[in-house]
């Protein structure tokens, strides 16, 4: 019996995927539930498991865009599992080559001439390994199909210990992944279809620094998760969203949709680029709950296991460019949301406190918002509310009881 394997639906609104990498070759015997391919949707990279055991026949090439429900491979379930690899007769009887240089040249020449868009492109798994090693994919020779860099190529790659002796002025051309193309389309549509403005403010982080210095070891020891800045910012955002509900709203045609819950999207950098997993019902989570959920989602992004459902449905986004050293930016709204808060690096700056000059850890914050639905008064008021909560977290975010808020 020959089983037709079709592309399953990765989630709502997704109509096609792209074959990022075949993990098996045509004619291989595969086991049921074995990962046979990595596929890119416009939101995430997913593994495609075999639906049955048997010999596989591939019906699509790497890089092909295939519709949901389209047949991508055939599995002959009646084929017997091979007993094992046995040496070929001709390999046993092959005489020792007399001219190794000439024969090697004849074998390698056709492979060197095969060049496609996949040549030099790292698979998702390989790209993750190369990022961790700090190696440029251009410095790795791929041994996969059409020169694609496989995970094993990345594992075997050794970082360069010096600069090449001669300058190089080469260039390469690689096809954008479906995810990156979709991100590009969405960013352009936001600029074209919204009346986006950005308002700025600064936050004295002294109070948060003091709380973290005092309680972070006890917090980590008890909850097995660090006490970071994101829980304070998420708490401050939830408080401000409750005061300014228009910021927690969206435009749907000629209607404004407002939410009585706060699903906060947190921008996380991963091997496939920037992802925005969602912390659901953040208004009901404690500091420990927020830190634990952000850690869980960040690990899933890093490991390429994040699902479409985990990145869908946020009502507001927080992005932290400060981890990369950004001093100030104008973040782009994450559609269909109406606002996004940008965090930046923390720098000691002179400020006036009680009539005197003082040095304090200052962070610039930015709120980009859709002026079609959020007025200037609401946007500025929202950002001021965030600033107030971060500068007085003990009273405004912890109800005056730090230990109870941190569950210590």
Cis peptide before 336 (omega within 30 of 0): yes
Strand (E) positions, 287-401?
A: 316-320, 339-343, 346-353, 356-370
Q: What's the CA gap between 116 and 148, in Å, rounded?
A: 9
Q: Which of 26, 139, 303, 371 is catalytic?
A: 371
Is 371 noted as a catalytic residue in this protein?
yes
Could you write out the DSSP letters of every residue in 25-84?
Answer: -TT-EE-TT-EEEEEE-SS-EEEEE-SSSEEEEE-S-TT-EEETT-EEEEEETTSPPP--
What gap in Å lies between CA 84 and CA 181, rounded to an integer?
43
Phi, psi for residue 334 in degrees, rounded to 5: -95, 100
- Block residue for tokens 């420990």: 288
Strands (E) located in 154-259: 196-204, 249-252, 255-258
DSSP 3-state of 294: helix
Phi-psi region of 147 (alpha: psi -120 to 50; beta: other; left: phi over 0): left
Pick from 196, 238, 205: nearest CA to 333 = 196
Those residues whose C-beta lies under 8 Å from the C-beta of residue 327, and which sit 6 or more positions away, are 344, 345, 347, 364
Q: Is 375 a catalytic residue?
A: yes
Contacts of 253 (CB under 8 A, 6+ apart): none
| Closest to 326 in 3D by CA, of 302, 342, 348 | 342
Out of 26, 33, 139, 375, the active site residue is 375
The token pair at 139 is 């410095």
Distance between CA atoms of residues 280 and 277, nearest Å: 9
Catalytic residues: 371, 375
């Amino acid at each position: 019996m020959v089983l037709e394997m079709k592309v399953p639906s990765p989630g709502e609104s997704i109509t096609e995927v792209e074959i990022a990498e075949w993990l098996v070759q045509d004619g291989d015997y595969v086991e049921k539930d074995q990962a046979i391919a990595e596929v890119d949707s416009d939101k995430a990279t997913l593994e495609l498991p075999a639906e049955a055991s048997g010999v596989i026949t591939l019906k699509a090439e790497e890089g092909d865009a295939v519709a949901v429900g389209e047949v991508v491979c055939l599995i002959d379930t009646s084929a017997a599992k091979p007993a094992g690899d046995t040496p070929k007769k001709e390999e046993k009887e092959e005489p020792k080559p007399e001219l190794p240089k000439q024969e090697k040249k004849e074998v390698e020449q056709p492979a060197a001439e095969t060049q496609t868009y996949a040549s030099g492109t790292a698979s998702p798994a390989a790209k993750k390994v190369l990022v961790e090693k700090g190696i440029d994919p251009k410095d790795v020779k791929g041994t996969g199909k059409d020169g694609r860099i496989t995970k094993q190529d990345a594992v075997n790659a050794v970082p360069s210990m010096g600069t090449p002796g001669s300058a190089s002025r080469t260039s390469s051309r690689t096809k954008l992944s479906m995810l990156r193309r979709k991100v590009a389309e969405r960013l352009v549509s936001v600029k074209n279809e919204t009346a986006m403005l950005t308002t700025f403010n600064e936050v004295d982080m002294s109070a948060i620094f003091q709380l973290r210095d005092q309680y972070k070891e006890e917090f980590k020891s008890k909850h097995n998760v660090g006490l970071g800045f994101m829980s304070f910012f998420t708490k401050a955002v939830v408080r401000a969203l409750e005061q300014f509900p228009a910021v927690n709203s969206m435009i749907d045609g000629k209607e404004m949709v407002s939410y009585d819950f706060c699903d906060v999207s947190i921008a996380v950098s991963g091997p496939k680029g920037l992802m925005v997993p969602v912390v659901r019902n953040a208004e009901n989570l404690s500091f420990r709950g927020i830190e634990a959920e952000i850690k869980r989602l960040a690990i899933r992004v890093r490991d390429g296991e994040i699902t479409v459902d985990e990145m869908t449905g946020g009502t507001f986004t927080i992005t932290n460019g400060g981890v990369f050293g950004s001093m100030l930016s104008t973040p782009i709204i994450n559609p269909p949301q109406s606002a996004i808060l940008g965090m930046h690096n923390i720098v000691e700056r002179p400020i006036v406190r009680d009539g005197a000059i003082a040095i304090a850890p200052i962070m610039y914050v930015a709120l980009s918002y859709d002026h079609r639905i959020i007025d200037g008064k609401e946007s500025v008021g929202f950002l001021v509310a965030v600033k107030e909560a971060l500068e007085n977290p003990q009273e405004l975010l912890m109800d005056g009881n730090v230990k109870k808020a941190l569950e210590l």
